[in-house]
Amino acid sequence: MDLSVEGKAYINGTFENCCIGIDDGKIVAVKKILKADEHFDFGNKIILPAGIDLHVHFRDPGMTHKEDFSTGSLAAVFGGISCVFDMPNTVPQTTTPGSLSDKINDCKRKSFVDFGVYAGVTNDNIKDIEKLAKKCNGFKIFLGNTTVALMFDKTNLRNVLKSISTIGKPVLFHAEDEECLIKNRSVENGLADHLRSRPAGCEELSIREIFNASQDLGSRIHVCHVSSCEGLELLKNRPSNISCGVTPHHCLLSIEKNLGTPSFYKVNPPVRTSFDKEALFNALKNGLVDILESDHAPHTRDEKAVDFDSVPCGLPGVETMYPLFLYLVKKEILSFQRLISLLCIRPAELMGIPKGRLEVGYDADFVVIDFKDVGKIRSDNLHSKCGWTPFEDWSAVFPSCIFVRGEKLIEDHEIQVNQGFGQFVGA
């Protein structure tokens, strides 16, 4: 055995003082006492599965002044995330087998964490679904326009879902109905205007259309970043092949609260009312929502500081997601069981990867937490290239250590591996 790690580990829904044995990056034993060639004793510190983020925009290739795969994945490491799945709206977009191969090869050289990629579905590549499937972990469809989106005509939806259903890979949706958005669009001077331009009804309508188009197909569908009460209401009665996710910003922020410079909080779907925020948070607690996803979508400070109407939408979040929610667990606002399900177990299940659990046969991906380590989120301490966070000064518990496939990635706040350590999880 290469390595054993001792501490208070979260195994099968409870904490046990135990040792985790690791060989070739996999967990091979969980026992009271184990001693491998190398042994780490974390004493009374807590060992949790590392997080998995199914929704990041690392802006690579094409917009690497905002982020690139090395800075984005470094932010993931320090935020306790061992695996990320990157969206297709890069430049070029990953909408062809060639662009997917290029991206995978490039990220293999750059990434600090394991990764997967999505193929974007557009009006023009529907015929290539089978070829695309060989190169990706899932598909992304934008039903409404957003910053650097890929346009898709909803009249094609049923046909696309039919062809993807035979392949078995998940389809992720940005669910805001384009016609509805166009109807409501007006010049925006602030977050309340942005909310009026993108009302909850557009999300509701879009989710309804996804339900209708996918009826009886059994395609695996994921509704990204649900943001409204109306959306949640519909999803309460979803069939079992449909999952949904919520972002930290939608369930922790609302427009009634003074959010600092409004343009920095312009995001799609928009940050909504405290009523929506609370409903979303309750849905995390009661299990209606499957996963937390960061929708890490960085833009530089300069890009976010222009007049509100022309500001690009999106905000960073991959590094702060797990730490923010660990603090909420410490405050007993959320249970461990729900947190680990939302950030580890369900994301891994949805992508079919052997991660997210501290069990024999799974990748040895875990974080070490000391709940006395409550700190404040500060832009200066984060690793994203964009250099800011919507959660400045929020309390959080950052992991002191993360292991990915049995390799220790952080020591004394320094990264211990080189770019390219991260592996493609396979298509």
Please report how close the Cβ of residue 247 comes to Zn ion at its closest, in angstroms.
9
# residues contacting Zn ion (CB under 5 A): 1
Q: Which is nearer to Zn ion, 188 or 295 (CB)?
A: 295
Can you tell me which residue has the tokens 């309390």? 395
> Which range binds Zn ion by CB under 5 A, 129-137, 250-258, 279-287, 290-298?
290-298
3-state class (DSSP) for residue 168: coil
Please report how close the Cβ of residue 224 comes to Zn ion at its closest, in angstroms.
6
Determine the residue type at 267. Answer: V
**DSSP per residue over 56-102, as a string?**
E---TTT-TTT--HHHHHHHHHHTTEEEEEE-S-SSS-S-SHHHHHH
Can you tell me which residue has the tokens 């591996």? 417
106 exposure class (CB count in 10 Å sphere: 0-12, 13-18, 19+): middle
Burial per residue of 150-165, b for 16 or more beta-carbon CB atoms within 10 angstroms, e otherwise: bebebeebeebbebbb
Please report how close the Cβ of residue 140 comes to Zn ion at its closest, in angstroms.
8
What residues contact 420, with CB distance under 8 A and at least 6 apart? 108, 109, 110, 111
Can you tell me which residue has the tokens 């649900």? 226
- What whole-number distance in Å separates Cα of residue 158 and Cα of residue 304? 37
Q: Which is nearer to Zn ion, 174 or 383 (CB)?
A: 174
Q: Which is nearer to Zn ion, 223 or 358 (CB)?
A: 223
The reply on whether position 68 binds Zn ion by CB under 5 A is no
Determine the residue type at 22. Answer: I
- What whole-number distance in Å separates Cα of residue 22 and Cα of residue 363? 9
Please report how close the Cβ of residue 56 comes to Zn ion at its closest, in angstroms.
8
Max CA-CA distance within the chain?
Answer: 65
Contact 6, 44 (CB under 8 A): no
Please report how close the Cβ of residue 357 comes to Zn ion at its closest, in angstroms.
26
> Which range binds Zn ion by CB under 5 A, 111-119, 236-244, 289-297, 372-380?
289-297
Please report how close the Cβ of residue 166 comes to Zn ion at its closest, in angstroms.
26
Check if 37 is active-site: no
Comparing every residue's Cβ against Zn ion, the nearest one is 295
Candidates 60, 295, 363, 365; catalytic one: 295
Segments of 227-363 assigned E as strands: 242-246, 291-292
Please report how close the Cβ of residue 297 comes to Zn ion at its closest, in angstroms.
6
Q: Which two tokens stand for residue 29?
A: 């034993």
Query: Residues 188, 276, 295, 365: which binds Zn ion (CB under 5 A)?
Result: 295
Residue 322 Cα distances to 248, 291, 403, angstroms? 9, 12, 15
Q: Which is nearer to Zn ion, 311 or 368 (CB)?
A: 311
Q: Which is nearer to Zn ion, 149 or 340 (CB)?
A: 149
Q: Which is nearer to Zn ion, 161 or 267 (CB)?
A: 267
Orientation angle between helical segments 229-236 and 274-286, nearest 10 degrees = 30
**What's the distance, CA 148 to chain centroid?**
18
Q: Which is nearer to Zn ion, 53 or 363 (CB)?
A: 53
Pairing assessment for the beta strands 38-49 and 366-369 based on DSSP bridges: antiparallel
> Which range binds Zn ion by CB under 5 A, 4-12, 59-67, 209-217, 287-295?
287-295
> Which range binds Zn ion by CB under 5 A, 90-98, 245-253, 288-296, 300-308?
288-296
Cite the active site residues: 295
Which chain residues interact with Zn ion by CB under 5 A? Answer: 295
